[in-house]
Structure 1
Amino acid sequence: MQIEVEIFTVNKRFPLTISRGTTTQTTNVWVKISDDGIEGWGEASPFSIGNYPQSTEIIKDALQKVASALQAHSPLQRQQVEQILTTAKIPSAAKAALDVAMHDWLGKRIGLPLWQLWGLDRNAIAPTSVTIGINSTAGAKARVRDWLEFLDVRVFKIKLGSPEGIDADQKMLMAVREEAPTQELYVDANGGWNLADAIYMCNWLADLGVKYVEQPLAQGQEQSLAELKMRSPLPIFVDESCFTSADIPQLANIVDGINIKLMKSGGLSEAMRMVNTARANGLQVMFGCYSDSALLNTAAAQLAPLADYLDLDSHLNLIDDPFTGAFVQAGKIIPNDLPGLGVQRSASAT
């Protein structure tokens, strides 16, 4: 198979602030593989967790270096390709782009969308949350109104862990609740709390009907999750603390669920393994995203029937998404009936 790598930049409609900083745009990597007259598409978006940064340049360079080693292989040889990528130690985002592209190629070869190829039920897909980043109370209210004008929102995910402390978190949460009195609320602290604040906030949030709290403690503080789980009335999910299925067994008794992201897992193949491993360990599952376009979120949506919760909203916050794919219906991200991922170039990008 032949591999082509292209860079593209996407801009956010609303800047997103979390406990680690603010983003307004990202430069992502579009991967196209071709074999037997069929082209499969994948994407990688840069992200950074702890000492594991994956920049656009790192991802692009890794893909270009491994391209020649993959030329002799078919997209049907995913096991062999995965072994090559593992041996080469390419970053997970680059691995994900290739894995997604090979799945897209396979679906197009067979003529079926991936969700149907896997025998999944689109009616089982949960509504996606949309994100309210760390903001002032007035700013948070404005973001809620913007989302409600733009979309049939059923769930809001609120980013907490403000550098100004939990008092600012509480004020912002209440501001969101005032503007969204009927929507379900999730909270993601992105590791912005210490243990004492996390215990306090989980109890306070439970009284307000919040559904769960994601990554309350920073990556590297997993030893404190057991105490937090014992003292929290809310389910605890981890994101930055869980990359692949190998991370799940040691988390099984100290959290309630995991957030699977294609960039962390290395693609759809490992995401499926993570779902199965999580279920075997009695954990709930959600799918999340970084600054992903419709291409990646449509890829994740192919597995969405297997998740308890979804946070696949990044492409909905882009003003210049070059792709179209899954559609929104009743607050849900639904993959379409086209073969493979079902992703096409948007009219404005062609």
Structure 2
Amino acid sequence: MRFAFAPYLLHFKEPGGTSRGVMTEKPTFLVKIFDEQDPEHFGIGEAAVFPGLSPEANGNYVWKLTELLANVAIGKHTDLSRHSSIQFGLEQALLDYSNGCRGIYYPSTFTEGKSEIVINGLVWMGDFDKMIERIDEKVRAGFRCIKLKIGAIDWAREVEMIEYIRRRFSPSELTIRVDANGGFSMDNAIPRLKRLADLGVHSIEQPIPPGNIQLMAFLCTISPVPIALDEELIGKGTSGERMAILDSIRPAYIILKPALCGGFSGAEDWIDLAQKRGIGWWVTSALESNVGLNAIAQWTAFIGAKGPQGLGTGGVFSDNFVTPIRLESERLSFDPAAGFDYAQFADLKWHL
């Protein structure tokens, strides 16, 4: 068997704002596995590296990707625990190949078109008027759970924005999740968490930057808004490291992004450890192309995830790939009649 990879640059339809800054493009790498005797049939995956978040996203990434794929191809024992995005891409390519090169990673009622996944509506950061406009769009589209990126514009304006929502919809009518991406500080986190609780916010992801273990544990103990760990999970490549974080912080929830938390196998380990500790979880994409999103959606359905999932990022890019994944209102589905067009990858610059 042979592996190959191809770089690809995704472009946002509109700039995507978080507390870490504004993104206009997102690099990624596609990975394929094939038999040299039949190179037209291949399994496809996405090594969805995330600059600024993936620890392996450095100047050596292409070299490391080349080395690790070569090692796997010859059957050499290869430790991928510190290369989550590569693990993620390899798992997809192998699963697709083993399932007949059909864009099917986890066969289930979802891939048969018989079930759907409920997702939250993601509202990116922007100026006040733009965010209000985006919120209204999500509500009109039928979303009953929205996720707001906060922590970048003026806090008073962010509160005003949530108040605007609550004047129209009660917590029982519309669930609000917020994601601070580590944008709060030790000085302002507690009063801000209290204000969010007053506004009926369901949960907050990563209120303070990762690595502040004692402060995060303290906040999880006293916060009136349930706290979910997100970036805190990145780089924890072993079960021991994962147990240490969960036992030290004791969050209400964890956010699973397979490209950043050890691929599908790593994410399943996180789930097992969390459930043993009474910690909730849901799945979120990490700005993958539709190749990675297709695989994540199938896995999410396969493992039986409950409640709204964070898988609504497929429409943010202007030059995405085409897959059988469909989004209508708050429901993500798979169209088995659509098939999977492997020809769309033919003109990429593949490196063997």
Q: Same fold (TM over 0.5)?
A: yes
Q: Which one of the candidate residues 131, 136, 143 is aligned to 1:153?
A: 143
After TM superposition, the structure 1 stretch with the greater mean CA deviation from structure 2, 286-295 or 171-180, is 171-180
Q: Do the aligned partners of 2:123 and 2:149 also contact (CA within 8 Å) in 1?
A: yes
1:283 paired residue number? 279
Per-residue displacement from partner, 1:66-94 (whole Å, max 9, x unpaired)?
23323334xxxxxxx7x4143xx762212
- Structure 1: distance between partners of 2:194 and 2:205: 14
- Structure 2 CA distance for partners of 1:144 and 1:178, relative to 1, 3 Å: farther
- Structure 2 CA distance for partners of 1:39 and 1:94, relative to 1, 3 Å: same
TM-score (norm 2): 0.81
**What number of residue pairs does the alignment pair up?**
334
1:268 paired residue number? 264
Is 1:54 aligned to residue 57 of structure 2? Answer: yes
Q: Do the aligned partners of 1:128 and 1:333 also contact (CA within 8 Å) in 2?
A: yes
Q: Do the aligned partners of 2:27 and 2:50 also contact (CA within 8 Å) in 1?
A: no
Superposition deviation, residue 116 in structure 1:
2.4
1:68 paired residue number? 70
1:174 paired residue number? 163
1:184 paired residue number? 175
Runs of 5+ consecutive residues of structure 2 not aligned to the other structure: 348-352
After TM superposition, the structure 1 stretch with the greater mean CA deviation from structure 2, 29-38 or 213-222, is 29-38
Q: Report the 3-state secondary structure (helix = DSSP H, G, I; strand = E; otherwise coil) of the residue aligned with 2:260.
A: helix
- Structure 2: distance between partners of 1:197 and 1:113: 44
The CA RMSD measured in Å over matched residues stands at 3.4
Is 1:204 aligned to residue 195 of structure 2? Answer: yes
Q: Do the aligned partners of 2:103 and 2:340 also contact (CA within 8 Å) in 1?
A: no
Per-residue displacement from partner, 1:125-180 (whole Å, max 9, x unpaired)?
6521232222221111122244456x54332111111264x323313333555687
Q: Do the aligned partners of 1:19 and 1:191 also contact (CA within 8 Å) in 2?
A: yes
Q: Percent identity?
A: 22
Q: Do the aligned partners of 1:127 and 1:154 also contact (CA within 8 Å) in 2?
A: no
1:78 paired residue number? none
Is 1:32 aligned to residue 48 of structure 2? Answer: no
Runs of 5+ consecutive residues of structure 1 not aligned to the other structure: 74-80
Is 1:84 aligned to residue 78 of structure 2? Answer: yes
- Structure 2: distance between partners of 1:206 and 1:42: 40
Per-residue displacement from partner, 1:194-214 (whole Å, max 9, x unpaired)?
244222222222222221111
Which letter does structure 1 place at the counterpart of 2:287? S
- Structure 2 CA distance for partners of 1:170 and 1:122, relative to 1, 3 Å: farther
- Structure 2: distance between partners of 1:321 and 1:174: 35
Which letter does structure 1 place at the counterpart of 2:317? L
- Structure 1: distance between partners of 2:334 and 2:315: 15
Q: Do the aligned partners of 2:56 and 2:83 also contact (CA within 8 Å) in 1?
A: no
Map 1:65-144 → 2, pairs under 5 A: 65-73=67-75, 83-86=77-80, 91-108=83-100, 114-116=106-108, 123=115, 127-144=118-135
- Structure 2 CA distance for partners of 1:246 and 1:180, relative to 1, 3 Å: farther
- Structure 2: distance between partners of 1:158 and 1:9: 26
Superposition deviation, residue 100 in structure 1:
1.6
Q: Report the 3-state secondary structure (helix = DSSP H, G, I; strand = E; otherwise coil) of the residue aligned with 2:314.
A: helix
Superposition deviation, residue 13 in structure 1:
2.0
Q: Which has the higher helix share?
A: 1
Is 1:316 aligned to residue 315 of structure 2? Answer: yes
After TM superposition, the structure 1 stretch with the greater mean CA deviation from structure 2, 178-187 or 1-10, is 178-187
Q: Report the 3-state secondary structure (helix = DSSP H, G, I; strand = E; otherwise coil) of the residue aligned with 2:315.
A: helix
Which letter does structure 2 place at the counterpart of 1:100? Q
Superposition deviation, residue 20 in structure 1:
0.7
After TM superposition, the structure 1 stretch with the greater mean CA deviation from structure 2, 114-123 or 222-231, is 114-123
Q: Do the aligned partners of 2:44 and 2:97 also contact (CA within 8 Å) in 1?
A: yes
Q: Report the 3-state secondary structure (helix = DSSP H, G, I; strand = E; otherwise coil) of the residue aligned with 1:46.
A: coil
Q: Which has the higher contact order (CA 8 A, sep 6+)?
A: 2
Q: Which one of the candidate residues 304, 307, 317 is aligned to 2:305?
A: 307
Q: Do the aligned partners of 1:96 and 1:263 also contact (CA within 8 Å) in 2?
A: yes
Is 1:293 aligned to residue 296 of structure 2? Answer: no
- Structure 2: distance between partners of 1:19 and 1:344: 36
- Structure 1: distance between partners of 2:112 and 2:254: 21
- Structure 2: distance between partners of 1:349 and 1:143: 36
Q: Report the 3-state secondary structure (helix = DSSP H, G, I; strand = E; otherwise coil) of the residue aligned with 1:302.
A: helix
